[in-house]
Amino acid sequence: MRLGADPATPAEPDSSAREADRIAEEAALRGQIDRVAEEKRRALLEPGPTWREWWFFSASKWYVVLGFLIGDVWAVTVWLDAGSVLGALLTLVGLFYAEYLLYEYLWYRPDERALRRRALFRRTWRHPVPFGRWTPEAQLVRSGAVESRDDEGPDLGEFV
């Protein structure tokens, strides 16, 4: 018995209240288990992209950009160590353009309006490929599901 408590009131809840709480907790737990089982079933039906697709289509972008940053800092540091600010600036401009072209080569995805406007892809200094190599569109073209319109266009010798 608690100190200062009325002796007429019981100190512990009766067993029926405890039983009702236990039943309510079990029902809540069963509901949670059912939700988790349903989520697992839906996940197995639609698993999402493969690890390879996830890596090439989204995750590798961050690592490539981080590599670009490390390369840029290293190149600028070498030139500034040599005492040439002009060399550092020219190298940085050249690296930015090369990195832009590499990024376009890997992940360029034209918007739908651009695809409808022009029937044939034309290589330019801004867009060297019709689709980036690591994009879902390029994967469809490589698998043969979509016909590539890349056969016609300017001669590659034009850029040399």
Tell me the CA distances in angstroms from 77 to 87, 96, 99, one per residue in order. 11, 15, 18
What is the sign, positive or negative, of the torsion defined by CA atoms of 143, 58, 70, 104? positive
**pLDDT reported for residue 148:** 55
Tell me the CA distances in angstroms from 81 to 91, 96, 139, one per residue in order. 14, 20, 44
Residue given tokens 């651009």 in the structure block: 114
**pLDDT reported for residue 125:** 81
Q: 140 pLDDT exceeds 90? A: no
Average pLDDT over all residues of the chain: 81
Q: Count of alpha carbons within 13 Å of 42, Cβ hemisphere only?
A: 6
Instruction: Supply the angle between the helices 60-82 and 85-107 in degrees, to the nearest 10.
Output: 170
Q: What confidence tens digit (pLDDT) does each residue in 70-111 have?
A: 999 999 999 999 999 999 999 999 999 999 999 988 888 877
120: its two tokens: 């044939």
DSSP 59: I
**pLDDT reported for residue 63:** 93
Q: What confidence tens digit (pLDDT) does each residue in 6-26 have?
A: 555 555 557 778 888 888 889
Segment 119-126 shows an average pLDDT of 75
**pLDDT reported for residue 57:** 84
**pLDDT reported for residue 155:** 60
Q: What values do phi and psi take at 84, rounded to 5?
A: -115, 100
Domain residue ranges in the chain: 1-47, 51-159
